[in-house]
Amino acid sequence: MSNTGEEGLLTLEPLMDAIREALEQTGWELSGLQKTTSHQFEGRWEGESTRSAYLFFHLPDGSEEVSMDVYLDETSRGLTGNLALVVGLVPLGEVESVQSALTALSAVSATRITPEYRRPLTLRFRVSDVTQDCALAETEVRFKVRIPRRAIRTGAEAITDFVTDVVDSFAHILESGDVRRLLVDAGDGLHG
């Protein structure tokens, strides 16, 4: 693999390859890949150029309601990205309290993912049309982990260690009672 070693991962493709290889080693399979390049910006980002990659993964024997998304970005300021465990939850009408659910899911993330990582959390609600009963809104949680810059600077081996740690954390998240009670299909979980 190029652009690794003492210099770390310097461009998008080697980082993407390192993450993909590490995820595939842990049993996740690539569902899709999208790469984009943007050159035309106005305003604050005028003159900038970015390249991004989105990788989507699933487990071959796992629930369709559980997947992983990877977002990577290469800008003039360097490489950034995150891994996200995406979990389909019960419809909004079955969630007792949005605030309680968000509090519980945040607590699960805080106790299952290494505290040294930045750990954003997103709870989404979606209706297919504005006339749909909101109680039937699809609910999704994204447990995100930002890729540490030091891992990117160190190289592929550090990325593999990071990905392995995060995948293990995601497995523990799915074993949590607070998550399992909200899963659309609590029988499948991570490993089917």
pLDDT at 20 over 60: yes
- Predicted confidence at residue 75, as pLDDT, reads 85
Determine which helix (DSSP H) or strand (DSSP E) holds 160, and give its type and residue range: helix 156-175
pLDDT tens digits for 38-66? Answer: 876 667 667 677 899 999 999 998 889 99
pTM for the structure as a whole? 0.87
- Predicted confidence at residue 184, as pLDDT, reads 77
Exposed (0-12), middle (13-18) or buried (19+): which is 170, by Cβ within 10 Å? buried
pLDDT at 172 over 50: yes
Sequence spans of domains, the chain? 12-180
Tokens of 28: 């996740």
pLDDT tens digits for 79-127? Answer: 999 999 999 999 999 998 999 999 999 999 999 999 999 999 999 999 9
Residue with the larger pLDDT of the pair 191 and 89? 89
- Predicted confidence at residue 77, as pLDDT, reads 81
